[in-house]
Amino acid sequence: MTGSQFLAGKTALVTGSSRNLGATIAGQLATLGATVAVNYHHSGAVAESLVAELRERTGAPHVAIAGDGTTGAGVRRLVGEALDRLGGRVDVLVNNAGPFSMEPYAELPEAEWDRIWDSNVKAAWLASQLVAPGMRAAGWGRIVNLSAGSAYLRNHSIYGLAKGAIIQLTEELALELGPRITVNAVAPGQIAESAADIAEFDPTFVDRAIAHTPAGRLVGRAEVAGLIGLLCSPAMDMVTGVTIPIDGGWRMNRF
């Protein structure tokens, strides 16, 4: 094991990782030595292609696993299959999956509330609960939750509420699962590669975000994935219960 492969011999499950940020996170953990389970809901061919690429690049037996994080039963099936195919344990869990919505509360359908809340918060809680016994038995584990810059806003409706709840969930899990397991979160601002996605909801958001950001640009997927990898490193053994914004200072209010 080299200094940059501190996850050699470890296994990782990244939810919602066939595309976009999740795929970048999966690639980062694989580069650091982990054998990774790439989770997908609908994009099976894309997930298998990513797994083939990671296998060729690292030589590890990465796997693609179908799973629906919108229901408890779906999360249980997903984690169960990950445990089976990763040799009985998940050492690193990244709760990345989490659909977006900013439908105003006054118009928000109950089904949309359930979809966003369950996919972002309930799934993170349940997946963590399911992998924790194995991590405890192994004497080591890392859980990293994805919050978001929306947690610091008050106009992103149920999504902002869910991402705020992730921050509290992270702190409470850290208290319950220590000392063998650390639980942290990252809260990315608007990600550069996903600018077009937010523009469908608010065409002015990206320009306003950049203008408001001290760093003068949006964060990239590789930067977020790099931070998540760092949280799994020995350098972060004493860091738990923390949410780290990675947004170039965008979240800070100005008067």
- Catalytically active residues, by annotation: 159
Give strand pairing partners of 82. none
User: Token pair for residue 243?
Assistant: 């949410």
All residues at 6 or more sequence positions from 254 whose CB lies less than 8 Å from its CB, including other chains:
212
CB 21 within 8 A of CB 221: yes
Q: Cα–Cα distances in Å, from 5 out to 60, 226, 229, 230?
A: 13, 13, 10, 11
What's the sign of the alpha-carbon dihedral 190, 38, 123, 42?
A: positive
Q: Residue 255, Cβ neighbours under 10 Å: how many?
A: 2
Phi, psi (5° rounding) for residue 206? Answer: -65, -50
